[in-house]
């Protein structure tokens, strides 16, 4: 099929593109310099140029807690506007199928654990990433509305925190795993005796290896055509303190870990109910956390990011 993957040059998108191309799809990856998805005319031109049958909308402006605190307005505007423009062009052109990637940040701050899709609207998201989460959740409403009124086959998936090779290791905007790997491995290489981490280490998070997530997206694109949102994850959580200790071990870092409790923790717990994805399109994560971290650390060391500082 003729396929567009917005964000296809990015972290998750590049892994999805490789899977789709291996399956014989003709994949078009729009670049931001050519198509600004926050501009409606650019999205119209993208659909005219690529003539897609299916679109995976993964493009997003996103980062860790610090980046979300620094860019609440931008993250709300950019993510909402990109999604709205893609939805509208999908309607206008009669697109065969639209796959929208949401975010775990859309869940209420104190959602019951494990997070079930039915609880998505039962509270407000955690404050530091609420603008991003609310913008993405609004696209679920749009997708369901367009399905009901126009018959657009648009599905909405909720990936949990991702990690893996080709992740963003910039400490100003990265998520927790790449940030921990960079801090720990650089500290080992530089002979540092202490590493300072944000928060008190008490929250829990669930992590999905990026190649597993790409497989989940591909399976949903092939097999799922429903209106209900679907979680993508492993169903297993880990305390951030334990995660930091594990990454330190795998990096060979033997120094002290200092927790800066003046910095925010973010959402207290994150763990998904992943039953719906297994039942509806047969997705189950395959890569365990330890194996995935080892592969990610190996990629980081081979990347030359540390040497290029």
CA–CA gap between residue 160 and residue 268 (Å, rounded): 15
DSSP 129: G
Q: Is the model's pLDDT at 306 over the cut of 80?
A: no
Q: Which residues have C-beta within 8 Å of that of residue 263, sequence separation ≥ 6?
A: 65, 198, 199
pLDDT over 70, % of the chain: 99
For 150, phi and psi rounded to 5 degrees? -115, -5
- Written as six digits, the tokens of 111 are 């959602």
Q: Is the model's pLDDT at 140 over the cut of 80?
A: yes
Q: Is the model's pLDDT at 24 over the cut of 90?
A: yes
Q: To the nearest whole number, what is the mean pLDDT of the chain?
A: 96
Residue of 230, 4, 219, 224 lying closest to 106 (CA atoms): 230
Predicted local confidence at residue 226, as pLDDT? 98
Average pLDDT over residues 161-184: 93
Preceding amide of 114 cis, omega within 30: yes
pLDDT over 90, % of the chain: 91
Predicted local confidence at residue 66, as pLDDT? 84
DSSP 30: -
For 38, phi and psi rounded to 5 degrees? -80, -5
Q: Is the model's pLDDT at 204 over the cut of 90?
A: yes
Average pLDDT over residues 221-247: 98
Q: Quick check: 204 and 239 in contact, CB under 8 A?
A: yes
Q: Where are the domains of the chain?
A: 2-163+207-232
Q: Band the pLDDT of 308: cuts 50, 70, 90.
A: low
Placement of tokens 């060979």 in the chain: 252
Q: Quick check: 226 and 25 in contact, CB under 8 A?
A: no
Predicted local confidence at residue 264, as pLDDT? 87
Please name the CATH architecture into which domain 2-163+207-232 falls: 3-Layer(aba) Sandwich (3.40)
CA–CA gap between residue 157 and residue 85 (Å, rounded): 18
Predicted local confidence at residue 309, as pLDDT? 59
Q: Is the model's pLDDT at 167 over the cut of 80?
A: yes
The catalytic position among 56, 132, 163, 300 is 132
Average pLDDT over residues 178-184: 96
Position with higher pLDDT, 35 vs 69: 35
pLDDT digits (tens, 9 = 90+) for 46-75: 999 999 999 999 999 988 788 888 999 999
The question of whether 146 is a catalytic residue gets the answer no
pLDDT digits (tens, 9 = 90+) for 67-116: 888 999 999 999 999 999 999 999 999 999 999 999 999 999 999 999 99
């Amino acid at each position: 099929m003729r396929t567009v993957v917005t964000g296809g040059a990015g972290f998750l998108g590049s892994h999805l593109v490789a899977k789709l191309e291996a399956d014989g799809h003709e994949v078009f990856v729009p670049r931001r310099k050519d198509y600004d998805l926050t501009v409606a005319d650019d999205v119209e031109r993208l659909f005219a140029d690529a003539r897609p049958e299916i679109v995976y909308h993964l493009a997003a402006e996103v980062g860790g807690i610090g980046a979300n605190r620094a860019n609440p307005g931008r993250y709300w505007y950019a993510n909402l506007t990109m999604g709205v423009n893609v939805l509208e062009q999908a309607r206008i052109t009669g697109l065969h199928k639209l796959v929208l990637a949401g975010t775990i940040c859309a869940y209420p701050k104190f959602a019951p654990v494990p997070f079930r899709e039915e609880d998505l609207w039962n509270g407000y998201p955690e404050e530091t990433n609420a603008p991003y989460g609310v913008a993405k959740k609004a696209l679920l409403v749009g997708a369901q509305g367009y399905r009901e009124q126009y018959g657009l086959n648009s599905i909405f998936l909720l990936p949990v925190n991702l990690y893996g090779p080709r992740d963003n290791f910039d400490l100003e905007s990265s998520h927790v795993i790449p940030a921990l790997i960079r801090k720990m491995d650089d500290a080992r290489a530089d002979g540092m005796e202490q590493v300072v981490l944000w928060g008190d280490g008490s929250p829990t998070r669930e992590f999905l290896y990026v190649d597993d997530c790409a497989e989940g997206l591909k399976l949903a694109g092939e097999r799922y055509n429903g209106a209900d949102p679907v979680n993508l994850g492993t169903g297993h959580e880990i305390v951030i303190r334990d995660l930091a200790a594990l990454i330190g071990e795998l990096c060979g870092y033997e120094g002290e870990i200092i927790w800066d409790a003046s910095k925010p923790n973010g959402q207290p717990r994150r763990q998904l109910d992943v039953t719906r994805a297994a039942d509806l399109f047969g997705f189950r994560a395959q890569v365990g956390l330890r194996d995935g971290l080892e592969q990610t650390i190996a990629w980081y060391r081979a990347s030359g990011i540390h040497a290029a500082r």
